Amino acid sequence: MSNPEIEDIPIRDDMIRLGQLLKLAGLVEDGVEAAELIKGGLVKVNGEIDDRRGRQLHDGDTVTVNRRTVRISAPAGS
């Protein structure tokens, strides 16, 4: 079942790192803000707090920050 409050974020490759995704999705202004939110335990990956800025995200993974959730959408066949 699709959740209309989840925004799909397309990526070019089959993987993106958490810090990069936060910037791409507009959830943070820059890498410093991304690092602060992640280290502060304010970022959830697939519903669980993750404190690894380099965490690899793949198609279908969800990231939640400040009650906003985005889902990774990788190109088909990657």
Tell me the CATH number at 69.
3.10.290.10
Are 23 and 34 in contact by the 8 Å Cβ rule? The answer is: yes
**Tokens 């079942």, located at residue:** 1
The predicted pLDDT at position 76 comes to 78
For the ranges 13-17, 33-37, 47-51, 73-77, the lowest mean pLDDT is seen at 73-77
Coil, strand, or helix at residue 35?
helix
Domain count for the chain, please give it: 1
What tens digit of pLDDT does each residue of 1-36 get?
Answer: 456 699 999 999 999 999 999 999 999 999 999 999
The predicted pLDDT at position 20 comes to 96
Q: Does 10 fall in a domain?
A: yes
The boundaries of the domain holding residue 35 are 6-73
Q: Does 20 fall in a domain?
A: yes
